[in-house]
Structure 1
Amino acid sequence: MAHNRVKESCSDQAVYYLVTNRIAGGRMLFRDLEKQKLKELLNDGVAKLSYQLIDYVFMDNHFHLLIKIPPTLQMDDVALLQRYRVHKQNEEINFISKEQRNDFREKIHDISFIIGNFEQRFVQWFNKEHSSWGRLFGQRFDSEMIEVSAQSDSLLRVMAYISLNPVRAGIVSDPKDFHFCGYSDRLAGGSVGKSDHEFFDVFCRGIEANDIRDKQKHFREVFRAYMLGLRRYKNADSQTLAEFFREVNLSEELAWDDLFIHKCRFFTKCLVIGSEAFVREKLTKFSAKMNWKRIHEPYTEDEWNDIYSLKPRRRRRASAG
């Protein structure tokens, strides 16, 4: 049974989610055609709903997405109406009331509606393309709320986990060579990396940048170094990165940091990923709504670099006498 979902609607700040789903029965049904369609539908949804695709990977039997939901009040009424007309496929339709407008605003900022719409459209296409019917995914998707702040490298960690999927699977030795992932997309100048400059101030301290492109470039350098094992990103400067890359022999098969060879359940079977303070904040906020039968506490291990998740713990039975 899938776990409860932690999600929230914020009027003044963005919310980030790691989203995962798998094909029923572990079947390998995503070939190049299917992966290209998944990518196409995700990009189409950006114009209809309200989200940004920060990262992704499409494997043969599952996918991972890193989705940013912007603040609900960031979209003005004009842009909202445009999305409503695209969503309804009617260029002349209008909202009939303020309540309907507000309901639609909340809906297109809701991770459940966004991913549900994406999966439904893909399954409809897949069944038509392959003359099949019925369910494609084994269960509802998993989603984890991700902290994005200078207090935690959770975003980098999740992006590395996503990007290194094809490396762990032995498909490529470098994620830049895997066509269906966000890392190769952003290096090729695709739409995925357009917001990379937003992470410059968080992860590129001490590095000077003149414009947005410069910020994007430096963030991608820090991210690549992070995947390869650099743990000094919080104090990273141009000299630190240059020294690190001189030590990495890029002419040989890259030896990615063992930190990322871990159980995927840490990322896909929890509720929140971030610093201990962030996890405790969400635990306090959502505990009453979850109706949990088990005790939940922030969980981490030494090699996780102070990244915590929500992991259920069984209640201890009271000892006799």
Structure 2
Amino acid sequence: MRRKRLVFKDRTTYHHLMSRTVNGEAWFGDREKEQLRKMIHQVAEFSGIRVITYAVMKNHFHLMVEVPGEAEVTDAEIVRRYRALYPKPTPWQPMRAEVLEKILREDPVEAEPLRRSLTRRMHDVSWLMKTLKQRFSLWFNRSRERFGPVWAERYKSVLIEGDLKALRTVAAYIDLNPVRSGIVEDPKDYRFSGYGEALGGSRVAREGLAILDRDLAGYRQTLYGSGAAAKEGKRSFDRKTALRILEKEKGSLPLPDLLRCRVRYFTDGLALGSPEFLEEAASSLNRNRKRKARPHSIHGADFGNLSVLAGLKKNLFQ
């Protein structure tokens, strides 16, 4: 049974999106990660959805995105976005951007259905994830001379309140993926993530993270704790000790230490935010639903006013 997606089309919303390979196969090396990274930016550019941050790992990826409410898209913007998605004609989309531009300008009869068809695909999280995964699957199977599915599931989605505490916490959790996996000790050293790409000089990546903090100082506080950068010996707990405190002793940790563990609140919850925000989300979700979702407080660190919409009880931290 598919989990219902929480989307409010009348306002800007934020989502944590995830997808994993079939059987968790570790198929992605640097070449595959780089290709998926490029496709993320390309598909997002067409959709008008802003990537705040992301992490591409060996068998899965995370995106954190800002989805605008319904908005008018000019013909000039349609052409610009189309050119970003289809810089060259393809078998499934042979029309060149120049031809599209001419039709929109000169042929009102043909232009209107074409305009509707293109704009319908914009500002849509489901379309973004479907297209991204299909495009990558085609490329991956061709490059490996294989066939069959690449992805294990449709995708996971967690709705996030547009509050800086919530957004920075989930973004840091995403950018710390390579640290949790033991690939790097500092998230700035992983180039297949929003934070690593931004510190590598990418304008697009820095513009995404600017939603959290224009000069990144406050965001670094969430990533590293006190101070603006990683320091030797700064972390208070190794992962084994952290999990013992969280799971066996039911204790809490400084947030930067907690974020170096896997936290199901950020991946398996339906929504994350203040109780008031979650009550509104629950009212939409609970229509025609026998088992009603409700806000639950979260523990393990000082999360401020954050709660989760889902009764997660077991294996919260890994």
TM-score category (smaller protein):
0.7 to 0.9
Give the counterpart of 1:137 among 151, 171, 181. Answer: 151
Aligned to 2:243: none
Aligned to 1:277: 276
Q: How much does 1:65 deviate?
A: 0.5
CA 106–274 in structure 1, closer or farther in 2 if over 3 Å, else same: farther
Deviates more, 1:28-37 or 1:269-278: 269-278
Mapped contact 1:271–1:310 kept (Cα < 8 A): yes
Aligned to 2:9: 9
Paired-residue identity, %: 28
Aligned to 1:67: 65
CA 263–188 in structure 1, closer or farther in 2 if over 3 Å, else same: closer
Q: How much does 1:99 deviate?
A: 6.0
Per-residue deviation, residues 138-195 of structure 1 (Å, max 9, x unmatched):
1110111111125xx1101101110111111111111011121111111122111114
Aligned to 1:186: 198
Deviates more, 1:17-26 or 1:76-85: 76-85
Give the counterpart of 1:105 among 97, 119, 143. Answer: 119
Aligned to 1:238: none
Task: Figure out how many residues of one structure are paired with residues of the other and give that number.
Answer: 276
Unaligned residue ranges in structure 2 (runs of 5+) = 87-92, 105-109, 238-255, 314-318
Deviates more, 1:66-75 or 1:162-171: 66-75
TM norm structure 1: 0.77
Mapped contact 2:224–2:230 kept (Cα < 8 A): no
Q: Name the aligned partner's letter for residue 270 of structure 1.
A: G
Give the counterpart of 1:44 among 42, 45, 53. Answer: 42
Aligned to 1:299: 296
Residue 17 of structure 2 is aligned to residue 57 of structure 1? no
CA 250–262 in structure 1, closer or farther in 2 if over 3 Å, else same: closer
Aligned to 1:259: 258
CA 84–60 in structure 1, closer or farther in 2 if over 3 Å, else same: closer
Q: How much does 1:8 deviate?
A: 2.8
Spell out the pairing of 1:171-250 with structure 2 (5 A cutoff).
171-190=183-202, 191-200=204-213, 216-217=214-215, 220-230=216-226, 244=227, 250=231
Unaligned residue ranges in structure 1 (runs of 5+) = 201-215, 231-243, 315-321
Q: How much does 1:197 deviate?
A: 3.7
User: CA separation in 2, counterparts of 1:177 and 1:253?
Assistant: 17
TM norm structure 2: 0.78
| RMSD (CA atoms) | 2.6
Partner of 1:20: helix, strand, or coil?
A: strand
